Amino acid sequence: MALIHRTTLKPTKLELLAGWLPTRPWYHGPAAPELAKAGGFRLDDPAGEVGIEFMIVTTEADGTEGTRGPVAHLVPLTYRGAPLDGAEHALVGTAEHGVLGTRWVYDGCHDPVLTAGLLALIEGRTRAQAQSITDTPDREVARSYAGGGPVPGLGAPADTDESTEFAVPDSDLVLRLRRVLTPGPTPPEGTVGHVTGAWDQPDGTRPRAVFATLQAR
Domain range list for the chain: 9-216
Name the phi and psi angles at 126, rounded to 5.
Answer: -150, 170
Q: What is the pLDDT of residues 68-116, one digit of tens each?
A: 678 999 999 999 999 999 999 999 999 998 777 899 999 999 999 999 9
DSSP state of 14: H
The secondary element (H helix, E strand) that includes residue 72 is: strand 70-80
pLDDT of residue 105: 97
Distance CA 155, CA 202 (A): 36
Distance CA 29, CA 61 (A): 5
- Is residue 1's pLDDT more than 60? no
Distance CA 36, CA 14 (A): 8
**Reported pTM:** 0.93
Closest C-alpha to 212, from 92, 106, 117, 89 = 117
Name the phi and psi angles at 17, rounded to 5.
Answer: -70, -30
Distance CA 187, CA 196 (A): 9
Q: What is the pLDDT of residues 51-64, one digit of tens each?
A: 999 999 999 876 55
